[in-house]
Amino acid sequence: MRIVHGWEELAPANRGAAVALGNFDGVHLGHRQVVANAAAAARAKGAPVGVVSFEPHPRRYFQPNAEPFRLMSAHQLARALGEMGADILYLLPFDARMVTMSDEAFARDVLADGLGAIHAAAGFDFTFGKNRTGDAAALRRYGEALGFTVSITEPVGDADLAKYSSTAVREALTAGEPDRAAAILGRPFAIEGVVQQGSQLGRKLGFPTANVPLGDYQVPKLGIYATRTILPGGRKVDGVASLGRNPTTGEVAPRLEVWLFDFDEDLYGQTIETELVAYLRPEEKFETLEALTAQVMADAQAAKAILRS
């Protein structure tokens, strides 16, 4: 899949796609239906499948000091969309120019003239243009006037949630419900990052951990998780992880420390991706390292039982 930054002066090969519109943070099941509708139009018209997103996320632009909230890294986003069959990911700069662009100008200058879109797929609640004045009905009108077809995806949900959303994923994660987040996403929530060197205390105590900073990820409920980690090359390894501040050995910024079972290889400086499968217990401060070690071993057994099932 090709990643294209911007919409102006594009090469012919990067124009003429059927595009899905949205932020696509998390690429949850509702997002997937929007992309599927773009793909269906692309097949019918013999065109490539494009996905239009924004960088930075509009929330980060309007709230630069907001707490971390992302559900995916840019790399995870591109990989997920590529696996769905997208040919092009358009990352449009969300800047002052984009913020002040009218909905009509966005449809004309970006979609029609810039991308040469032949079809635009969007969710029923998609808004665009200055002050979010453009909606699904406006997108249809502009499409008719500018020469691209439009499909609008109705809400996708289940018995517990009328509409899947990135907000619902964040709420599930902060509640310590990774299984609920996975049901909305269609896969486990995963944190990707470069392994950093820590104090190596875990190695001395018999449970070496790979430490990964959370960066701009939404911080899930702090505590202990059963995990599966995808290593460079694609191998997946079961484990147990502490997602927290290390209250026993010294407070730090929230980070992920994962103990990979039956694994003893050097991962420093390498990128790994850890899926949060199940929440085991809250973070806890122990009076002694012996007590900490005993609890970690018990957590490992609990994680192994869950992962086996």
* Interatomic CA distance for residues 89 and 19, integer angstroms: 9
* Interatomic CA distance for residues 200 and 205, integer angstroms: 9
CA dihedral 260, 261, 266, 267 (to 10 degrees): -20
Q: Are 281 and 299 in contact (CB under 8 A)?
A: yes
For residue 195, give the nearest of 275, 273, 83 by alpha carbon.
273
Question: Six-digit token pair at 152?
Answer: 């609008």
Q: What are phi and psi of 173, to 5 degrees?
A: -65, -45
Would residue 9 show up in a list of annotated catalytic residues for this protein?
no
Helix boundaries (H) for 160-267? 166-174, 178-185, 201-205
- C-alpha distances in Å from residue 223, one per residue of 141, 177, 261, 276: 49, 12, 18, 11
Catalytic residue among 8, 55, 251, 257: 257
Q: How many residues are there in the chain? A: 309
* Interatomic CA distance for residues 246 and 283, integer angstroms: 8
Active site residues: 257
